[in-house]
């Protein structure tokens, strides 16, 4: 029999086993409209139930759970959004993050429910409409994926802009730039910067709508291309790969890096922004779990700074270095200069 006075408590295991309870509470709160209802003056449990159109019992349970998780606060019998919820979970706010939460719940979670199968088979378990086609091709990944990543990428880019000095970069090519969140944010932070979002044609359409809505069409353009098969456009003095290389295996990543360097002039800069796994492969948790997310979703994984640095040097880069920072989607950027 285990001695309860000396054995470690099972708290870690309970927290891991019940992680779904937390994420699904958050998802339910978003879909019920909790944070929009409580924005402003808050509400009692009865008022909330009436506004949400739900019965009193689930209203009380949901509000209690959200308060316990730090999403809400209770003051004088009224429930209010916490600072985090008020900033990120009220529709219409600049950094609205709920699209990302719902993308994870609806698009990513089904693959995670078969994580054991992914480990055993070394093959993705996330369902896609046509597994024989590239996972990024039109129809194989919903537009909600790009919407979900927009706030996530914007916040990541905001931290990247502080960590890396882009004052000397005139034009930046964002390879695999998705709906344009990263480049738009970098251009907001650096008023002199111009650039191009490069992605598949249907994704460029999504990016163009975001660019137009941001009033940035004079500084940010799009280029439709497949970076495995098409030459990348020139005319840029830096190329960014932000949360891209974790999708692919080493051979494909080396090919992407070579294509990026071919598009750069001598002295041009290549930046790889990612959640970097520690060189000794003991963590950190966010990078390690993102790597698990790649296991269930694609054929890539998260790599170490040493691995990226080696690939850049093999491709002919000089002055290869890593700059660390903290953000939702990246904890460092590996930088190389084309010889």
What are the tens digits of pLDDT across the range 187-236? Answer: 999 999 999 999 999 999 999 999 999 999 999 999 999 999 999 999 99
Residue 159 among the catalytic residues: no
Please tell me whether residues 65 and 185 are part of one structural domain. no
Q: What pLDDT digit, counting tens, does each position of 57-96 carry? A: 999 999 999 999 999 999 999 999 999 999 999 999 999 9
SS (H, E, C) the chain: CCCCCCCCCCHHHHHHHCHHHHHHHHHHHHHHCHHHHHCCCCECHHHHHHHHCCCHHHHHHHHHHHHHCCCEEEECCEEEECHHHHHHCCCCCCCCCHHHHHHHHHHHHHHHCCHHHHHHHCCCCCCCCCCCCCCCCCCCCCHHHHHHHHHHHHHHHHHHHHHCCCCCCCEEEEECCCCCHHHHHHHHHCCCCEEEEEECHHHHHHHHHHHHHCCCCCCEEEEECCCCCCCCCCCCCEEEEECCHHHCCHHHHHHHHHHHHHCCCCCCEEEEEECCECCCCCCCHHHHHHHHHHHHHCCCCCCEHHHHHHHHHHCCEEEEEEEECCCCCCCEEEEEEEC
The total number of structural domains in the chain stands at 2
Question: Residue 134: inside a domain, yes or no?
Answer: no
218 and 327 within one domain: yes
Instruction: Tell me if 283 is assigned to some domain.
Output: no
Indicate which CATH number applies to the domain containing 87: 1.10.10.10
Domain-located, residue 164? yes
For the stretch 264-274, pLDDT in tens is: 999 999 999 99
User: Which of 46, 65, 93 delimits the end of a domain?
Assistant: 93
Q: Which of 159, 194, 236, 246 is catalytic?
A: 246
Supply the CATH number for residue 309's domain. Answer: 3.40.50.150
Give the residue numbers spanning the domain of 195.
Answer: 149-277+298-338
Evaluate whether residue 118 is within a structural domain.
Answer: no
């Amino acid at each position: 029999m285990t001695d309860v006075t000396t054995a470690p408590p099972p708290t870690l295991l309970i927290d891991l086993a019940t992680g779904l309870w937390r994420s699904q509470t958050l998802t339910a709160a978003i879909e019920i409209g909790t944070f929009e209802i409580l924005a402003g003056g808050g509400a009692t449990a009865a008022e909330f139930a009436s506004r949400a159109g739900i019965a009193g019992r689930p209203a009380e349970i949901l509000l209690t759970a959200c308060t316990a998780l730090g999403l809400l606060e209770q003051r004088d019998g009224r429930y209010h959004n916490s600072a985090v919820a008020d900033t990120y979970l009220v529709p219409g706010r600049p950094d609205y993050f709920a699209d990302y939460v719902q993308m994870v719940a609806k698009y990513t979670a089904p693959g995670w429910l078969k994580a054991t199968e992914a480990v055993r088979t070394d093959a993705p378990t996330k369902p896609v409409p046509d597994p024989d086609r590239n996972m990024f091709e039109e129809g194989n990944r919903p537009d909600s994926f790009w919407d979900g990543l927009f706030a996530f990428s914007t916040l990541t880019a905001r931290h990247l802009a502080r960590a890396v000095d882009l004052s000397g970069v005139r034009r930046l090519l964002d390879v695999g730039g998705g709906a344009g969140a990263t480049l738009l944010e970098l251009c907001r932070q650096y008023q002199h910067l111009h650039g191009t979002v490069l992605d598949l044609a249907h994704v460029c359409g999504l990016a163009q709508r975001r660019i137009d809505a941001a009033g940035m069409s004079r500084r940010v353009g799009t280029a439709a291309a497949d970076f495995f098969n098409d030459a990348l456009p020139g005319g840029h003095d830096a190329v960014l790969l932000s949360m891209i290389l974790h999708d692919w295996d080493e051979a494909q990543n080396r090919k992407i890096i070579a294509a990026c360097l071919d598009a750069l002039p001598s002295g041009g800069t290549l930046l790889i922004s990612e959640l970097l796994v520690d060189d000794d492969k003991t963590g950190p948790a966010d990078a390690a779990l993102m790597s698990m997310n790649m296991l269930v979703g694609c054929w890539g994984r998260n790599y170490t700074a040493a691995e990226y640095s080696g690939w850049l040097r093999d491709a002919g880069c000089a002055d290869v270095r890593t700059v660390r920072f903290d953000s939702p989607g990246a904890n460092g950027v590996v930088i190389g200069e084309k010889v």
